[in-house]
Every structure is written in C-alpha cells, then in structure tokens.
C-alpha cells in the first residue's frame, strides 16, 4: 500500500516533468549552454576521498549534482532591491539573442507565456505583498488586513522553517532551466510561494465574507485561479517541482484551517492589551532566534525576518491607534455592503503612502546597518556583512518593524491631516 504512494511522491518530484512543462510553454536551453552536472558516482567518490561537507550529498537528486547549489548569490541589497534587480536581470537576459553571460542558459520562444508566468510569480513575491498590505490597509479594510497578516506570519514562518529543516533541493539543472537566480540557493519543499498563493487569497475571501456581502463562490473561484497561476508560474520558472507546489498548497491550507478559529482571539489581544506591542516585538526576536540554522546562507531567513518585522510592526501600530481612540467601533454589526471606492483618493493615498514608506525604508535601513556593523566591528559597505545573523536580524527586523508601524499609524494620520482618509466607521474593528 505504501510503495505506490511513495512511488507517486517521487514521481511528482522528478525534474523531467518541470523541464517538459517549460519546453511546452517556450523555454529552450541555449545551444552553447555550459554543462552543469557531475555524475553522481564521481561526485560521491570525490566526497569520500576529500571528506567534504555532508550537506552536498543532499543536493544530489536523480543521479545528478546541481552546481547552482554552490553558486554565490551576487545580489547584495535589501529584498525589495533584489526583486527589482531580478526583474531587470531577467529582462536584460532575454532582450539579447546571443548573451555573453554564463548565467544565461535559456532562450524564450513565447513572450506571452514568459510575461504571463512572470506576473503570476510576482503575485507570490515580496514586491506584491509589500504593495498588497499597505493598499488594503489604506483603501479597503484594516480589520481584514490585520487578521490576514496574522495568518500570513504564522504559515510563512512555519513554511520557511520547514524548508530549511527538510533541506530538499530544488529541481536539478539540467534538465530544468532556472530563470529566477535569487532563489537558487534556497531549498525547494515546501514551496512558500505556493503557501502564500493558497493562504493569502483564501484567508482574504473567508475573512471578508464574515464582514461583507458578496458571492462566496465567485471569491473562491478567484482565489483558486490566483493560487493555480502562482503555482504554475513557479514550475515555469524552474524553481519548484510539482511535489513542491502541491505540498506547499496543502500545507498552507492545513495551517490556515488550524489557526483560523483563533485569529479573533489574537486580534482582540492585540487591540485591548497595552503591552502587546512590547510582547509582539520580543516574540518576533525570539522566533528569529529559534529559526533553524543552515550551513549555507540563503534568502529564506532574511525573508522570514521581513515578514515577522512587518507583521509585528503593523499590529503594534494598531494597538497604539486603538488606545488613542483613533479606531472607530461600528454602530451596526456585520454584514456590510461593499461601497464603490473613490479611485482618485485611492490613488492619491497609495502614492503618498508609498512615498512615506520608501523614505522610511531608506533612512532606517541605512542607520540600522551602519550602527549594527559598527557595534560588531564590521564594514557596513561590505555586502557580505548583512549575511551574518547578528547583522541580518536587526537590519531586516528593525527596518520592517518600523515600516509596518508607519503603514498602519503614520500614513493613516497623514491621510487624516490632509483630508483624504477613507471611511473608518466600519472597517477597523
């Protein structure tokens, strides 16, 4: 009974399925592509002879060794910079038919599917949720955004930690062509993009359905489409196997199901207890300290730190707003009708808010990096300094904690002062 299940699981993890999917949608290897592989037997022999690190054996999959797991990430900026640089990097690669860079090992034969799947993958990247949560807080409903962020921090922390504990590598290259280089050094299972794509849309639909009147079936269909789009995009980009995305989707839905009934309790604690900002800040530090250590640096730990910092900063701002009496309790209980938004004010709030966030991010990250590196006797201009855990934790955590706080406190106050705030009468509590 177990053997067929085990065989099916291994079949889902085969890299050949990913390569065929890429080929079908127009991703082809270059004719002059450099060989990436060392035969498994030879690699094992070298390991035994040289007594090299044991972690390389975990990178041997389907008889092949992927050299990209030893590749040093060249991006040295914050996560938002890395996402923007990755987009520019990919565009520059594909605009040239005969590139000279050894990193370019593919060509695109269908630009429609290329941009279709790039956009789908972006829905699960940091750039999307950096834009999504502020936009929802400033223009739609702060209560729903607050509860979604609680679930987001919970399942993303567990997902990222599980990935570094299991240490299951990404699909081997070749046959797979990896289009998104910044994630190459992370492990593959479970796919946290799939966890995000499943957890956020479905949480948003169910939490909104508790407060607003709309067709639940349409909401679930939209959430399913987004989830499928993001998951298939990760296959297209060569970053995950089918097992990775199926496992990530199921994992996220289970975690959301287990946590959903407790979200209101957590939210009430955040709103009612004056000490919750301090407790939240300390809890974030504790969770970062408990994050599993890996021998090889990757972006997983920094991304997790950003998620925790943003969430606890946002929740802390909500506590302060409530204690100052700035959150209005609705006169009538849910369910509410969905009101037509003022698109002009929507855009104005978003532009002003993002300018405040960008300014905050630039100032805070520079100050924190300089002081942290000075304290530990490191060169703050050296990009590798940010890879030390003692630098990475304050650099990302403090920066995004303050950003999260400004998103939910400073920006709404600025909107009120300018007279462009939205209706808060039933959207905050």
Contact 392, 418 (CB under 8 A): no
DSSP-derived 3-state class of residue 297:
coil
Burial of residue 86, with CB atoms counted within 10 A of its CB: 0-12 exposed, 13-18 middle, 19 or more buried? buried
Chain centroid to CA 185: 15
309 in helix, strand or coil?
Answer: helix
Whole-angstrom distance, CA of residue 339 vs CA of residue 426: 12
Could you tell me which of 184, 153, 148 has the C-alpha nearest to residue 169? 184
**CA angle, 171 as apex, 165 and 175 as ends, to 5°?**
160
Q: Which of 69, 89, 240, 262 is catalytic?
A: 240
List, as one string, the DSSP characters of 56-96.
Answer: GGGGEETTEEEGGGGPPP---S-HHHHHHHHHHHHHHHHH-
Q: Which residues of 130-148 are buried (b: 16+ CB within 10 A; e: fewer)?
A: bebbbbbbbbbbbbbbbbb
The secondary structure of residue 407, as a DSSP letter, is I
What distances in angstroms separate CA 17 from CA 21, 172, 317, one per listed residue? 6, 11, 46
Question: Which residues on neighbouring strands pair with residue 37, listed in sequence order?
Answer: 66
Find all residues with CB under 8 Å of 209, minimum gap 6, and list them: 216, 219
240 assigned to active site: yes
Active site residue 262: no
**Chain CA centroid to CA 383, Å:** 22
CA diameter of the chain: 75
Catalytic residue among 17, 68, 89, 193: 193
37 — phi, psi (to 5°)? -115, 150
Q: Which residues contact 278 (CB under 8 A, 6 or more apart)?
A: none
Say how many CA atoms lie within 13 Å of 257 toward its Cβ: 7
Closest by Cα among 191, 171, 170, 187 to 247 = 191
Residues labelled as active-site residues: 193, 240
């Amino acid at each position: 009974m177990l053997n067929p299940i085990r065989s099916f699981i291994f079949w889902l993890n085969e890299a050949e399925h990913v390569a065929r999917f890429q080929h079908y949608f127009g991703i082809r290897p270059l004719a002059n592509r450099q060989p990436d592989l060392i035969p498994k037997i030879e690699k094992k022999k070298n390991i035994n002879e040289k007594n090299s690190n044991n972690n390389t054996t975990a990178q041997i999959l389907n008889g092949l060794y992927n050299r990209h797991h030893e590749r040093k990430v060249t991006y040295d900026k914050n996560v938002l910079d890395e996402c923007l640089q990755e987009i520019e990097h990919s565009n520059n690669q594909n605009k040239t038919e005969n590139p000279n860079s050894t990193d370019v090992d593919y060509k695109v034969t269908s630009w429609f599917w290329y941009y279709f799947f790039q956009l789908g993958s972006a829905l699960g990247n940091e750039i999307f949720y950096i834009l999504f949560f502020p936009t929802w807080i400033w223009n739609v409903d702060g209560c729903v955004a607050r509860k979604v962020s609680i679930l987001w921090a919970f399942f993303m922390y567990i997902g990222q930690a599980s990935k570094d504990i299991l240490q299951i590598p990404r699909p081997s290259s070749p046959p797979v062509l990896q289009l998104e280089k910044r994630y190459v050094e992370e492990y593959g299972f479970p796919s946290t993009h799939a966890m995000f794509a499943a957890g956020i849309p479905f949480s948003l639909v169910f939490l909104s359905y508790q407060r607003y009147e709309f067709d639940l079936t349409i909401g679930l269909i939209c959430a399913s489409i987004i989830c499928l789009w993001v998951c298939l995009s990760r296959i297209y980009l060569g970053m995950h196997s089918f097992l990775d995305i199926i496992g990530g989707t199921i994992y996220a839905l289970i975690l959301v199901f287990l946590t959903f009934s407790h979200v209101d309790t957590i939210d009430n604690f955040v709103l009612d207890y004056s000490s919750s900002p301090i407790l939240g800040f300390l809890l974030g530090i504790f969770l970062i300290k408990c994050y599993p250590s890996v021998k090889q640096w990757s972006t997983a730990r920094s991304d997790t730190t950003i998620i925790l910092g943003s969430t606890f900063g946002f929740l802390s701002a909500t506590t302060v707003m409530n204690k100052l009496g700035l959150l209005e309790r609705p006169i009538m209980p849910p369910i509410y009708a969905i009101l037509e938004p003022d698109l002009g004010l929507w855009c104005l709030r978003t532009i002003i808010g993002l300018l405040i966030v960008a300014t905050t991010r630039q100032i805070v990250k520079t100050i924190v990096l300089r002081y942290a590196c000075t304290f530990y006797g490191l060169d703050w201009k050296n990009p590798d300094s940010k890879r030390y855990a003692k630098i990475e934790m304050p650099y990302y955590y403090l920066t995004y904690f303050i950003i999260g706080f400004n998103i939910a406190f400073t920006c709404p106050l600025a909107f009120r002062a300018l007279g462009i705030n939205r209706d808060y009468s039933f959207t905050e509590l």
